[in-house]
Amino acid sequence: MSTVNLIESFGEFKDLKNIDRVTMMGILEDVFRGVVKRRFGDEANVDIIINPDKGDLEIWLNRVIVEDGMSEDDNLEIELAEARKIEPDFEVGEEVSQEVKIADFGRRNILSLKQNLQSRIMELEKDHLYKKYADRVGEIITGEVYQIWKRETLVLDDEGNELILPKDQQIKTDFFKKGDSVRAVVWKVDMYNNSPKVILSRTAPEFLAKLFEQEVPEVADGLITIKRIVREPGERAKVAVESYDDRIDPVGACVGMKGSRIHGIVRELRNENIDVINFTSNEQLLIQRALSPAKVGEIKLDQEHKRAEVYMKPDQVALAIGKGGHNIKLAGRLSGFDIDVYRETDEVTDDVSLDEFSDEIDQWIIDEFKKIGFDTARSVLDVPAEDLVKRTDLEEETINEVLRVLRAELEG
């Protein structure tokens, strides 16, 4: 049996995706040396020469020449008469090198050698795959769909490594066919039967966060921080962002001019609706923003049980709840409160638009109230003064003055 047949050609080993040449040569030498020791003993003087470029591997047994009849170990010594058959001018004490053919090892040793070689290479590849992806958990990778099963999809990376995209980690409207390019986040790396299994996800919040990093330079540079993300994959997502630079509008930067930045993300997520809101540590204001696009009236918080009672006009309730209840569910997860929505039943007919008070209240103050969904006098008066202070950027003194003006008009 030839060397080339035994190791199934060096060309194959050179093409192995994760093993460099030096490591490969070390494995080959180590495996062959183990077989040589079993064949000739631990003390045998053997040279193993590997030429991966040509696909050559040579094994040379070196023995010392002794007088005829004086050899004690044929694996270490060779008698003079035998040595002179190789080279007539050999003398006692010199060293003879003879090439050992693979076939001389015997069928059992050759089979063991092949198995050891394959086992060592597989272990190296497993170790490389685990280390590579354990360090990349949370990163986006692009792969090619190779095979589709009922419960998972097999994806190949650019090195041909096999990655798994489970069905429950796919967006419900995802539809792949063999050869498609797919983007996903490395979700976790598990070990099954001593083999690494790389699990991908397109539904994890981390996937959306990384898409923002790719599409929004300010997020990638750290000028805008993503504080919280909640998702109903394929339906709706809410992203709370914050900027430490007052010159940067975090929501505007994430959405982009005419939605240019957010559109790419929405397409990748199969038209998932994405609400980007300004993060705030003010819990009432965060709940109000999280319930967007609905306009909120009064909010009552129960801090002990983490519940929020939100009151709004009847025509806003459906917006707050959203299709399939996704909007209110996500708002609750984003804010950390269980949210209950109530309709405001006291209909008032003597209400007045805030714009009617522009001669007594500065327009920028009116705009502050409009930002939080209050555009009439009654909607402002229905909320306690301390709540208005919390939910706007206005001073308490300014709030009290506004309330005085509004009451004078409606109650005077």
Q: Give the C-alpha separation, 70 to 79, whole Å.
A: 7
Q: Give the C-alpha separation, 403 to 409, whole Å.
A: 10
Q: Give the C-alpha separation, 118 to 28, whole Å.
A: 10
The candidate with the shortest Cα–Cα distance to 219, out of 168, 188, 253, is: 253
Q: What are phi and psi of 233, to 5 degrees?
A: -50, 130
302: enclosing H helix or E strand: strand 299-302
pLDDT score of 205: 96
pTM over 0.75: no
pLDDT score of 242: 96
The token pair that represents 12 in the structure block: 């194959």
pLDDT score of 4: 43
pLDDT score of 2: 47
pLDDT score of 326: 93
Q: 133 CB contacts (<8 Å, ≥6 apart)?
A: 163, 186, 189, 196, 198
Q: Give the C-alpha separation, 377 to 354, whole Å.
A: 6
pLDDT score of 249: 94
Q: Give the C-alpha separation, 157 to 259, whole Å.
A: 31
The candidate with the shortest Cα–Cα distance to 180, out of 139, 143, 140, 141, is: 143
What is the mean pLDDT of each successive set of 10 residues along the chain, which is 412 residues long?
A: 46 54 70 74 77 68 84 80 84 82 70 75 82 92 95 93 95 94 95 89 96 95 96 95 92 93 94 95 94 90 92 87 91 95 66 84 89 84 85 88 87 63
With beta carbons less than 8 A apart as the criterion, state whether 348 and 378 touch.
yes
Count CB-CB contacts under 10 A for residue 153: 24
